[in-house]
Amino acid sequence: MNRRSFLQVGSTATAVGLLARAQRAEAQTHEGHEAPPAPSPATTPAPAPTPRASIARPYPAGQPGVTVPNGETLPWRVVDGVKVGHLVVESFPHEIAPGMTVEVWGYNGLTPGPVLELIEGDRVRIHVTNRLPEPTTVHWHGIVLPSGMDGVSGLSQRPIPPGETWTYEFTLRHPGTFMYHSHYDEMTQIALGAVGMIVVHPRRARGPRVDRDFVLMTHEWKVNGDTRRPDPNAMSDFNVLAFNGKAFPGTAPLLVGKGERVRIRLGNLGPMDHHPIHIHGLWFHVTATDGGYVPASAQRPETTVLVPVGATRVIEFVPEESGDWAMHCHMTHHVMMQMAHGLPNMVGMDPRTVERRMSRVMPEYMTMGHRGMGGMGEMRMEIPPNTLPMRGGDGPYSYIDMGGMFTVLKVRDDPSTADPAAWYQAPEGTVAASASEARLRSDGVDVTRSYRRR
């Protein structure tokens, strides 16, 4: 099965049947960096984050800690001034969305793994335990560090054998948004989810202070129908697309306040596809990449940011309108779940003859695709186990027929008292509705007029 529909060619040449089983951040640049001060020895352990939803923590110049929707930050223990962390890479079941669980490879029971949240100048010691059936390493993508800590198997170190724990230690010399991932058998290990994000807060904050700081990592898998293991050999036709390992409606919303300054850090370590991430109802500036901060003079307003494979992009904005705003990849097949390519284009066909004949042998037969595919997710039709073709989620007005790499930015007047699970209650008169005949007459609109060009 692939992703454009879940149609199935029927028993006749023309019959198509129902598939019955089937982020302004601080202007930041590496140029002109002063040598960061040495980390001061700490006497107490760093506080552990709240599981699945990070909370604000004390960072220099009042910078907020990151929020990781559907994820976590890594807890640190300070030993003689060094922040010590532990990553365990292994296989485990992971729920993409309700009704679909796959077997992935990741860190500390998460894909992407926990965010490594640190401060410029911190020295870190990260112990990596390998519980995979093959060797592994960890590459600290975008971090400037000694060559022997870079994590490239065979080039900068020997691979970590299964069952062993190895240690990486280095100093975070530059602030920014980075990533980490396996650098052994990358095609398999990255594809199966052995990836994560790194956030290094600057020791001296730059630019306007943000109120909220989110981390989102994109990923893509190919999961064939009625299977649990993503296919790591896939080079195209990915059919499960995710933010922080979740597909809508499994994605947690981003709750912010109207007038607040918001930062979103986006990372992409998916196997093949770039993602144009679009947010409705606002515009933003791209303020940083994994190469450093973008000077204010080089920033420009956007509503969509392209996040290439192997790169991070950081955006900042101040929402002006309350509401529930869609945030999604604008490659339309990336907001759908497992669907199919290579089948006949049925749009516009008259199915009556086919339906009459097919009903003789398959009473439950129903032609699909001749009017488009909208509304298919609401039909709750029988599908193969552990698949979510054409499924989205319930919305406040009707079914949201988007899935995959889709989430909701919830802008509220007072986010401190808002329920993240509640839908926005639009003021009367501010929701699109059916036009009345009186309004049409008043506006001089003749709905019977044809604009078709001959």
Concatenating the DSSP letter of every residue in 384-426 gives -TT--TT--EE-SSSEE---BSEEEEEEES-TTT--TTSPP-P
- Does residue 294 fall inside a structural domain? no
pLDDT of 206 reads: 85
- Does residue 325 fall inside a structural domain? no
pLDDT digits over 190-204, tens only?
999 999 999 999 999
Candidates 70, 73, 115, 69; CA nearest to 95 is 70
3-state helix, strand, coil in the chain (%, to 5): 10, 35, 60
pLDDT of 233 reads: 84
Helices (H) and strands (E) in the chain, counts: 3, 25
Mean pLDDT per 10-residue section of the chain, whose length is 454 residues? 35 32 35 36 39 54 94 96 96 92 96 97 97 97 97 96 97 98 94 96 91 96 83 82 92 96 96 90 96 95 96 98 94 61 57 73 63 50 66 75 84 94 92 88 88 76
Integer Cα distance of 98 and 109 in angstroms? 18
- Does residue 109 fall inside a structural domain? yes
Q: How many domains does the chain have?
A: 1
Q: Do 42 and 306 meet the contact criterion of CB atoms below 8 Å apart?
A: no
pLDDT digits over 298-347, tens only?
999 999 999 999 999 999 999 999 999 999 998 766 556 655 544 565 55
- Does residue 121 fall inside a structural domain? yes
Integer Cα distance of 443 and 454 in angstroms? 27
- Does residue 179 fall inside a structural domain? yes
* Main-chain dihedrals φ then ψ at residue 377, nearest 5 degrees: -65, -25
Q: Which residues touch 300 (CB under 8 Å, ≥6 apart)?
A: 285, 286
Integer Cα distance of 415 and 255 in angstroms? 7
Integer Cα distance of 25 and 293 in angstroms? 8
pLDDT digits over 231-240, tens only?
888 877 788 8
The domain that holds 101 is classified in CATH as 2.60.40.420
- Does residue 53 fall inside a structural domain? no
ω into residue 75 within 30 of 0, thus cis? Answer: no
pTM score, two decimals? 0.78
- Does residue 169 fall inside a structural domain? yes
What the block records as the tokens of 229 is 């293991």
Domain extent, residue 145, equals 69-201
- Does residue 85 fall inside a structural domain? yes
Q: Do 286 and 313 meet the contact criterion of CB atoms below 8 Å apart?
A: yes
Torsion of CA 114, 118, 122, 124, to 10 degrees: 0
C-alpha angle 308-180-45 in degrees, rounded to nearest 5? 135
